[in-house]
Homo-oligomer: A and B are copies of this chain.
């Protein structure tokens, strides 16, 4: 009887439910704390039960990535390639930023999933529809690289900075002096960037601005190449490289 009640109360597992729970758990506790055991516990189930719905942990991670990719808005229509690409990337960025672990997982994936391929395919489609040659589209995709997903490798992830504000003032000062001596340029750049608030080193910068800055730099470059009919076939023409 109590068993029946329990069974009735328990919503049966499904692949989607497992994936959704995994995404939620990763959001909460971070990707490194996401284990099959922990996830099972969260679902009120024994670890091995998960394996009826996902083949293994790799496949779980793939599914999680797919779930995030599905959150990216489709391409807008009739807006010109540049604007279309820009909006799409920023949409991807929004999706990935809501799940801080997604970047890491996406990059660590060794087997590309259909959803990822689909995104890449439609991404290339935006350039082709904009009149880009297949050749230029190819190089452009490489040049964008992971920026297609809306993220950049963060520079100042944490230069021993996380607990900087927790440190005693004199310790802060000492660290500051040491930085000034050993990494004068970093200090110069970082303090200039944070004049308007934030901590002393890094984090003072507006990530969104930095991202858009780089994105637009690339898009402008693409535009220029496109307009002048650039092709990699010309590369044997002897421009000096080393």
Contact = CB atoms under 8 A, between A and B. Distances in A.
Contacts of A222: 217
Interface stretch (A13-21, A45-53, A139-147, A168-176): A139-147
Given A152-B146, A217-B221, A221-B221, A138 B189 contact: yes
B107 A186 contact: no
B205 A111 contact: no
Contacts of A220: 221
A112 B209 contact: no
Interface stretch (A35-43, A66-74, A113-121): A113-121
B141 A155 contact: yes
Contacts of A218: 217-218, 221
A43 to B, nearest CB: 28
Contacts of A125: 185
Interface string A220-237: 111001000000100100
Contacts of A158: 110-112
Contacts of A156: 112
Please give the count of copies of this chain that the complex contains: 2
Contacts of A11: none
A100 to B, nearest CB: 13
Contacts of A217: 143, 218, 221-222, 225
Contacts of A6: none
Interface residues of A, number: 64
A128 interface: yes
A124 B189 contact: yes
A176 B120 CA distance: 17
Interface string A166-196: 0000000000000000111110111011000
A112 B160 contact: yes
B153 A146 contact: yes
A128 to B, nearest CB: 6
A210 interface: yes
Contacts of A211: 142
A189 to B, nearest CB: 5
A145 to B, nearest CB: 4
8 contacts: A104-B108, A112-B156, A118-B182, A138-B205, A141-B189, A145-B152, A209-B232, A217-B221
